[in-house]
Structure 1
Amino acid sequence: MVVSLPADQAQPADLQQWARLEWHIENRLHRVRDETFREDAHQARTDNGPAVAAVLRNTAIGYHRSNGEPNIARATRRANHRPHDLIDAVTRNYPTTQ
């Protein structure tokens, strides 16, 4: 961990808190993206492909977390078998144009 504060301002308790926050982010988001969605193996490498794919992954993770799902991989597998449930959840609050 790199810290740019002077030594007298970077107290051990502060460094510990920052390290825990970093690992919290790593475990809560990046690890899920890497293991569940295999982000590192994704082939999108040009134009907006990588950014769009990341937004979709983050949206899926956020959707499952907002529904109280503790296991994103299990929730994703379940959602893959019921794609219409996801479409209904996203569109149910919007009136149809027909």
Structure 2
Amino acid sequence: MCHQSATVCLTKSPTRQHRAIGPLALRLETLADPRCRRGKRHPFVAVLLVACSAVVAGAKSFAAIGQWAKEAPQGALARLGARAATAFALRIAPSSATVRRVVQRTCPGGLADLLGCDPAGAETLAVDGKSARGSRHGTTAATHLLAAMIGSGQTVTQLRVPDKTNEITCFAALLGDKAAGASLCR
């Protein structure tokens, strides 16, 4: 997950113009890769595309995403950008642990902005905060996210609530220019 403050994370997250770029792969390229340079085996965008494809296919956990990736046909892995290995150009899917690490370290606001819907024309806008499941490690507190959704349940954007603050302090930053199109937030 994003280890930065909510303001920095929201500032770095993509804008509506990024959402209009076109194909999902091009939109995901606008996100910063949270991994260090050494030890990367799988392209950042390919890992996210494999995760998105598995979720669309019905995967509900990182283990299920890893299982889907392991069983995916070579043609699908090639279209998703999975790395090629061996002399026969065999595509190797990222493991469930790799997918989990990449997704958890990617800025949640950036992913929501790229994958979320446009609030223009929405009649209602709901805001809700939740602690991310599995994000607590040892003495580190769980990551708390604040999300904005339209009436149909589609996410517009989300951001991380900094430690030692609450959702109320992040409400204005969350809605900033993201919800300018919603008729309720004039």
TM-score w.r.t. the length of structure 2 is: 0.20
Which structure has more relative contact order (CA 8 Å, sep 6+)? It is: 2
Larger gyration radius, structure 1 or structure 2: 1
More strand by share: 2
More helix by share: 1
